[in-house]
């Protein structure tokens, strides 16, 4: 009788463990409803704004096991848009992003923990061929079905980096070093 009870408890634990893993939801970034907008000072008197129009990535949300939550985001460098074609081409050149050699900016989380209203995702940001640690606070997580049959969720956050930390040190006196980024993305459930 004791062996059967032990087997039953073991089987219940296995089923529980498998069910816990089933709570993870995988999403693909919906680029039409996502944005990466940046601003950088110009000669210390105003801000120049821009965005990356090509966002992609995947993420997994596991409400039962937040440590299994994971984010992988990418911005296509060639999609940089400051509403000025001449400046856009200069930004894509070797003076700045060097889009031909470094076609994407990526963030991959390594550690995710819940915070009030979302998650804190610590990981690696790769820009201009340089990888550095970055921690993002991503707020949101509400879900919606839109259109009918398509499950989605979204997050937003802000962060700042120094472009010189990533080897982008041209024209620091004119353009500035600190770049502030606002990130907002939706994902559709796979």
167 Rama class: left (phi>0) / alpha (psi -120 to 50) / beta? left
Note the pLDDT of residue 18: 43
151 bridge partner residues: 145
CB contact set of 99 (below 8 Å; sequence gap of 6+): 77, 78, 80, 92, 93
Q: 120-124: long-range contacts at Cβ-Cβ below 8 A with a sequence spacing of 24 or more?
A: 121/69, 121/71, 123/71
Q: What is the pLDDT of residues 30-50, one digit of tens each?
A: 999 999 999 999 999 999 999
Domain parsing of the chain, residue ranges: 24-189
Q: Which residues of the chain have pLDDT under 50?
A: 1, 5-21
Distances from the Cα of 122 to the Cα of 67, 105, 115, 130, 152, angstroms = 11, 16, 12, 17, 23
33 and 183 in contact (C-beta within 8 Å)? no
CATH number for 24-189 (one of 2.160.10.10, 3.40.50.300, 1.20.810.10, 2.40.128.110): it is 2.40.128.110
């Amino acid at each position: 009788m004791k062996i059967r009870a032990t087997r039953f408890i073991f089987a219940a634990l296995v089923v529980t463990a498998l069910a816990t893993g089933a709570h993870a939801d995988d999403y693909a970034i919906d680029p039409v409803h996502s944005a990466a907008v940046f601003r950088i000072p110009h000669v210390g008197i105003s801000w120049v704004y821009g965005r990356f129009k090509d966002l992609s990535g995947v993420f997994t949300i596991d409400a039962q096991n937040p440590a299994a939550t994971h984010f992988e985001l990418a911005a296509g460098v060639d999609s940089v848009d400051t509403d000025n074609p001449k400046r856009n081409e200069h930004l894509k050149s070797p003076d700045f992003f060097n889009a031909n050699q470094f076609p994407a900016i990526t963030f991959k989380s390594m550690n995710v923990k819940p915070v009030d209203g979302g998650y804190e995702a610590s990981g690696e940001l790769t820009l201009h061929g340089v990888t550095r640690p970055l921690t993002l606070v991503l707020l949101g997580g509400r879900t919606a079905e839109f259109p009918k049959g398509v499950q989605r969720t979204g997050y937003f956050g802000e962060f700042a980096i120094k472009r010189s930390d990533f080897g982008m040190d041209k024209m620091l006196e004119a353009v500035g070093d600190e770049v502030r980024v606002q990130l907002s993305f939706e994902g559709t459930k796979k």
